[in-house]
Structure 1
Amino acid sequence: MSLEKQVTAFRDPGEAAIVPLSHLGILEVKGKGAETLLQGQTSAQVGLAKGGFAPLTCFCTAKGRMLANAQLWQVSAEHYRLMLSRDLLASLHRHLEKFAPFYQAELKVQDDLILMGIVGEALGREVAEHYGMELPGASWHQANSNDQRTQLVRHPGEEPRWVLCSGDKRALTPAGIATPLSDPASWQAMDIQSGLAWLTADQQDRFLPQMFNWEALGGISFKKGCYTGQEVVARAHFRGQVKKRLARARVMAESLPEIGAIVCNDEGKAVGEVVAAVAYPQGATDILAVLSTQASETIQASETPAALTVGNSAVELLPLPYAIERVDPESLVQGL
C-alpha cells in the first residue's frame, strides 16, 4: 500500500498517530571536521549535541538573517543530522559546501531516511521499545538505537510527541504497532500550537532568528564563539533591537491564508505577515505570524483591542506556550 493511501484524515486531539513529515528533510554532515564546520556556521553550541540532546539551531547571513532554521542531532562521532524544511535542503547544502573541503567534511541530502512524527505517550513507548531505546522525556532530548540507524527526538506540545528518523524501512510499520498514518497537517498544527515555525524558501534572508522567537526556544547560544551572523544576532539581543516577533493567532477564513500574506491593523497598515498556517476540519485556521512588537503590545494592553485582519478575515491573537525571554541551550541539556 502506498504511503498516500495509508494516510487518514486530520487526527482528533488525544488520538495516537504516526505522521509522515513530508515537509521536512535531513541534511547529513559527516567527517573529521564536521563539528568544527558546524560550530563556525550555526547558532548552536555543537558540543552539546552528543547523542542525548538535539538543540535547535539556525544558519545566517553575515547580516544575521536566517538562511535556514533547523534541529541538530548527533548520530555518532563525526556524524550529524540537520532537520529543516525540505525546500531549503538544497540551498543549505550549497551554502555549507563552500566550507566543507576545508574541514574534511562531507554533506549529503538524505532522501532514503524515514522521517515520521509519533504522537501519544503509549505509542511513543511502544515505538521506543521496538527500537530498543529509552523514550526521551524532555523537549529536544534524543535517544539512539544500538545500531545508530534510528533516532527518536522529543518535541514540545500540548500532547506528547517525538520525531522518529530512521534508515530502517520498518519505521513505516513497526512490528506490532497498528496505528494508521495521520495527515501531515496534524503535525504542523502541533508546531503552530507550540509556537514553532520552520523557515521556508520564500522566507530566506529576511528574518533575524529572534523574529521566530528562536532564543526563547533555546535555539541560540549566546555563550559560544563566533559564527556567521553572530555579531548582528547578539547585538539585536543585548540592545533590545528586535522590533518583530512571532505571534500565534486564529483566523476565521474560508480559505487558508498564503504564507507571506500580510496582517493589517484597523487602519489598513501592514503590521506583519503569515509564516505558517493550517486549517482545521471544523473551519478555523491557526497561524503563526511575524508581527510588529508595538502592534502586539498595543493590542494586549487595550481593553478594546484594535482589529487585525488577513485579507478580509479577522485575526484573534492567542497566547504562546512560552515566555519571550532568553533560554540558554546549555541549561536545557542539564539532567542528561
Structure 2
Amino acid sequence: MHTSGSKRPAVTLFAILLLLVAAACGCQGGGGTAPSPDSSVTSSGQADVLAVKIDNVAPARPPTGLENADLVYVEQVEAGLSRILAVYSSDVPPVIGPVRSARETDLELLRQFDRPTLAYSGAQSALQPSIEAAPLDALPPSKAPDAYFRDPERPAPHNLYLRPEDIPHAASQVDAAEDIGLRFAPAPEGGTPVTERTVSYPSARFTFTWSPEQKTWLVAMDGKASRTASGERLTAADVILQDVTLGPSRFRDKWGNTSPFTQTVGSGSALALRDGKAYDVTWQRDSAASATEYITQDGRPMTFARGQVWIVLVPE
C-alpha cells in the first residue's frame, strides 16, 4: 500500500528528529556506543606511552610493576651504577616503582615515542630546562602529588611509588616496542646457541640465562636472581645488548660526580638474544626523532619473540 503524498513531510520530519536524538546520545548505527573520550587508544593506532625512571640499587629491589613494561632500558649512571627506564603501553599496572630521578640520556631515548609521559622523582636544576623543552609530558611529584606515595616500610629515597590510574594513564593495548618498529615474528635463520650472557658496569652486573623449560631469559642482577615485588622471577622474552658510546654530560650530581651521557643516536654493533640463541646485529638510529633499527648480518630487520624486551646499553 502506498503512502499518500500528504503524509511524506511528517514522516521525513520524524526521521530527522530521530537522527538528531541519536547524535545527541552519541549513538551509532546498530545500537553501538561511541568510544569513550577517555580511551587511551589513539586514532592513529600509536601507543600511549608512560615511561617511568626506576631505581635499581640493592635497597630499591625488588621493583614493583616492572614485569608489566613493554620495554626495559638499562643505562649506566653516576659511580658506575645502573638505572632502569621502563616503558609501558599495552599493560599498565596499578603501582610502579621505586621512582627515581631523570637523566639526559632518558630524553634522547624517549624521542623515539610520540610525546610520552615521563614519571620521575626529580632532576638536577640544570637539567630541568632540557626536560621542559623536550617533546614529552614531564610528570614529577610536584605536578601530580596525588599520583605518588611513599612506602614507610622501605628506606628513603628508595620508597617513592607511582599510581598510574591517578594521572590518569590506562593501558592502550598497543605494544610500545611494536610502535617504534620492533617486529614480533618467527626467528631469523642462523644464530648461535647460548645459555648465558653477562653485562658488567663498574658497580652493577646483569646476567641473562636461558631457561629451556620456561622458554624465557631469567634475569639476575649483581649475582642474585631478580624478582618482582610478588616474588616471581623477572624474565625477558628478548634481550638486546647494544654497544654504545658513554661520555660525560654537562651535569653533576649533588656529590660532584659527573653524570654520564649515553649516545643512542648513531650506529654500532649489538647482540640480540631470543629463543636460546644469540644473533650478531647492527643498530642504527639516524636522528633523535627516529627509532632504532636492529639489522641482521644478511641485511634484514631482526625479529623478536612476543613478550618483554630488555635493551641493555653497554658502554664500549
Give the TM-score range, shorter chain: under 0.3
Higher helix share: 1
Give the TM-score normalised by the residue count of structure 2. Answer: 0.27
- Higher percent of residues as strand: 2
| Structure 1 length-normalised TM | 0.26
